[in-house]
Amino acid sequence: MDTNDSNVKTPPPHVPRMAELVADRLRRRIITGELDDGASLPREAQMISEFGVSRPSLREAIRILETEGLIRIRRGKVGGAVVMRPTAHSAAYHLGLTLQSHATTLDDLAAARSVLEPACAALAAALPDRARKKVVARLTELIDENEAQLGAATDFTSGALAFHAAIVELCGNTTITLLAGALESVWASQERLWAEKAVDDGDYPDAASQRQVVRAHRRIAKLIESGDVDVVTRAMRDHLNKSQPYVNYDAVPIEVVS
């Protein structure tokens, strides 16, 4: 094909609409922290004056940000737009919707978790001594709380999930924390659904099985404390391979929980 052919036309560049420009400026303020999470956006009249736009353009910009989950509209006498900064949990909801749209199964989700969580444990074990001690102190606190929940069924499940979430959150790599944290939140919602059903059906694991989980968590915490990257990676993977099948996931599609 002759690229010099005069009949070949270059598509015109996209010219952002005024609403998109306003949404972009507000978006930057939200993600940089200039607008705090939970804060209200300025009054409509103030933003119209600041941005020099019409009311319809401003309201369209607000709708764009609401669709992105960066603000929520509060109704009533104290109504207005409230800032919602992105978190791993909010990302998890959109990730869950995307996974469900692809008919992703629980066993597929479990396989991904078995790759990412051992990596997080390894990163935690590789942290400098002082940072590693803080991680272990937090993990030990969560394990002690979880051990006190032995026999409490769904409370025990929530406590065990908190241990896994902490390893992801404290691994020391922001990108992996957010990516793995979103995945962890999706998994946690599925495991809680399973726990509630297992309790109702009388199939929830007994106290002996719960003690095995606590022992595995203590061993992982000690390996992180020792800084043994290779061993803690294997220990975390083995623990997941033994504990995740309790959820009886097989090829069951995930169910998004808001």
pLDDT in tens, 138-181: 999 999 999 999 988 899 999 999 999 999 999 999 999 999 99
- Kindly list the structural domains of the chain, giving each domain's residue range(s) and its CATH number in brackets, ordered by start: 18-83 (1.10.10.10), 88-247 (1.20.120.530)
Per-residue pLDDT of 189-209, as tens digits, reads 999 989 999 999 998 999 999
Please measure the distance between the N-terminal and C-terminal CA atoms of the chain and give it in whole angstroms: 51
Q: Cβ(189)–Cβ(183) under 8 Å?
A: no
φ and ψ at residue 140, rounded to 5 degrees:
-60, -40
Cα–Cα distance for residue pair 257/95, rounded to 1 Å: 11
Mean pLDDT over residues 60-83, rounded? 86
What predicted TM-score, i.e. pTM, was given to this entire model? 0.78
Q: Can you count the helices (H) and strands (E) in the chain?
A: 10, 2
Residue 47 three-state SS: helix
Average pLDDT, the chain: 89
Q: Cβ(58)–Cβ(22) under 8 Å?
A: yes
pLDDT on residue 15: 47
pLDDT on residue 6: 57
pLDDT on residue 251: 67
Find all residues with CB under 8 Å of 231, minimum gap 6, and list them.
223
Instruction: Check whether 47 has a pLDDT greater than 70.
Output: yes
Find all residues with CB under 8 Å of 174, minimum gap 6, and list them.
none
Per-residue pLDDT of 6-28, as tens digits, reads 566 666 555 458 999 999 999 99
Q: Which of 134, 141, 138, 31 is nearest to 83 (CA)?
A: 31
